[in-house]
């Protein structure tokens, strides 16, 4: 990690995407921050082709990991993903709005958060949402730090109140391939989550 004096010389990167907030959303998914643009294969969340999130969703909702991957395997089917999220009431954003990349890569451990996301503002736009899932350790740590949430076991939740709203905060395995768990097992966790929050 760079010394503090060097970090301030690094550029601050603003979040490149707007929050995806379907009016009927019952679940808010929070990641950490998108990877550098050079790693994107589409203009949406979880855009890195090596990230497993949309393959996990393919297994959960269609029983087919390739359902949301294009025929050539070079990108994801963004329109199908957006339709799926709208249909099942799933909102997405990240816990950081601005970061510095301390090592110039996509690793969460090398992100310095400059500005956190205003979670109450997101929730005010999705009044039916009473469940939040953090999709990795970094996002969970940031959220827990701000709201004093205990860390539940993988696949479990803790109850808390944010801006006067009773919520359940869920902890799920990371969709990064670096997280040592088979995709079928990750999908099992996400399928159970979607069933418990009424999105499946």
pLDDT tens profile 115-145: 999 999 999 999 999 999 998 788 888 888 8
**pLDDT the model gives residue 29:** 97
Share of the chain above pLDDT 70, in %: 94
Please report how many Cα atoms fall inside a 13 Å half-sphere around the Cα of residue 99, on the Cβ side. Answer: 28
Q: Is the pLDDT of residue 28 over 90?
A: yes
Per the prediction, the chain carries an average pLDDT of 90
**What would the DSSP string read from start to end of 142-179?**
HHHHHHT---PPTT-EEEEEETTEEEEEEE----STTS
Measured CA to CA, the distance from residue 160 to residue 101 in angstroms comes to: 31
Q: Is the pLDDT of residue 4 over 50?
A: no
The closest alpha carbon to 125, from 3, 44, 9, 20, belongs to: 20
What is the third-level CATH fold of 30-197? Answer: Uracil-DNA Glycosylase, subunit E (3.40.470)
What's the whole-model pTM score?
0.91
- Tell me what the mean pLDDT of segment 89-96 comes to: 96
Residue 81, number of CB atoms within 10 A of its CB: 22
Q: How confident is the model at residue 71 (pLDDT cuts 50, 70, 90)?
A: confident
Q: Where are the domains of the chain?
A: 30-197
Collect all residues with Cβ–Cβ distance below 8 Å to 64 and sequence separation of at least 6: 58
Rounded to 10 deg, the angle between the 53-62 and 78-88 helix axes is: 60
Residues 54 and 81 sit within 8 Å (Cβ to Cβ): yes
């Amino acid at each position: 990690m760079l010394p503090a004096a060097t970090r301030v010389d690094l550029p601050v990167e603003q979040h490149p995407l707007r929050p995806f907030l379907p009016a009927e959303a019952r679940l808010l998914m929070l990641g950490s921050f998108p990877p550098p643009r050079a790693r994107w294969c589409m203009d949406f969340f979880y855009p890195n082709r090596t990230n497993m999130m949309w393959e996990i969703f393919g297994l959960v909702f269609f029983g087919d990991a390739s359902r949301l991957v294009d025929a050539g395997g070079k990108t994801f089917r963004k329109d199908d993903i957006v339709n799926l999220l709208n249909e099942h009431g799933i909102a997405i954003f990240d816990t950081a709005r601005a970061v510095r990349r301390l090592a110039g890569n996509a690793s969460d451990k090398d992100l310095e958060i400059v500005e956190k996301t205003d979670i109450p503002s997101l929730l005010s736009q999705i009044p039916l949402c009473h469940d939040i899932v953090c999709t990795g350790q970094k996002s969970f740590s940031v959220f827990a730090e701000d709201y004093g949430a205990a860390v539940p076991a993988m696949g479990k939740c803790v109850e808390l109140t944010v801006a006067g709203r009773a919520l359940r905060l869920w902890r799920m395995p990371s969709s990064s391939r670096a997280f040592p768990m088979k995709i079928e097992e990750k999908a099992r966790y996400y399928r159970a989550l979607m069933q418990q929050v009424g999105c499946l």
